[in-house]
Amino acid sequence: MYIVAEKEIAGLMTPAAAFEAIEAVFAAMAARKAYNFPVVREAIGYEDALYGFKGGFDGAALTLGLKAGGYWPNNQKHNLINHQSTIFLFDADTGRAKAAIGGNLLTALRTAAASAVSIKYLAPKGAKVLGMIGAGHQSAFQMKAAAAVHSFEKVIGWNPHPEMLTRLAETAAGLGLPFEAVELDRLGAEADVIISITSAFSPLLMDAHVKGETHIAAMGTDTKGKQELDPALVARARIFTDEVAQSISIGETQHAIAAHLIAEEAVHELGAVVTGAIPGRDGAEVTLFDGTGVGLQDLAVAAKVLELAIEKGLAQQAEL
């Protein structure tokens, strides 16, 4: 089997390659050529950690495997980031272990690529202002991926801890874009595309904040109880997601569903827009991508980075 170390990922995987991999897996899911396995996610009762598995099989690319890992909130004392994961790929023909690949950076890249795919297909025509809600580790990846698929002229941002907004300002500067810190009412009114990437458990962006044609990529809600958006805002949007079952149970739409503001039928697969099976904005003033994160996305970027690592001689080999 091959081993691709975490330290090699940054030199191998580009945002463009991640985007291509994620766009392809969205299409494969919509065509029913790929499916995710049930997610396992457990509080292990030690170090306040959440640990789990996400896996699946992509019959179009013949990619089989899983991501194992989770969230260790006390990792700062070990000089490690809180999210830790490893992706394992298996040979679809034989079931033999094919590769073990560092999953930390890949998780950030695939999450950003997923929102970028939604922006490509759902952003209002002529969108100029990108709004960022959240300034954590993932926010820089999100901004860079968004700027790679759409020509924005300005970035505005908000974070519950304003001192962290320097990350957004520095990232925007690196992209050659002006940045301004604003309150959420201004962000909702002025941004044409909004990316929310926080760990909030109560709504931040309210229905009254959002004015005019807007696309929202809600990327932070991936667990029961988490929430970034006002359910009324969700209810007036045309909604898309990576996987409907996951969206309505642990994604942003869980709250609008619970409040009986929308039915499951209101939630569409983004992959169906990618394949052309259904329209995107279709006249809607507000579109929403509920990005919950699925195992197939992890496998898609892992398979791509393995291919690149083998080409460049950076994949170690080991016998089991």
Q: Which residues are catalytic?
A: 67
Query: Residue 2 and residue 73: Cα distance in Å, rounded?
Result: 30
104-122 vs 137-149: helix crossing angle, rounded to 10 = 40
Bridge partners (DSSP) of residue 212 are none
Distance CA 27, CA 4 (A): 27
For residues 77-112, one letter each, b for 16 or more C-beta atoms within 10 angstroms of the residue's C-beta and e for the rest, the string is: eeeeeebbbbbbbbeeeeeeebbbbbbbbbbbbbbb
Contacts of 107 (CB under 8 A, 6+ apart): 67, 83, 85, 298
Q: The tokens of 63 are what? A: 């990619």
The pair of structure tokens assigned to 198 is 């926080």
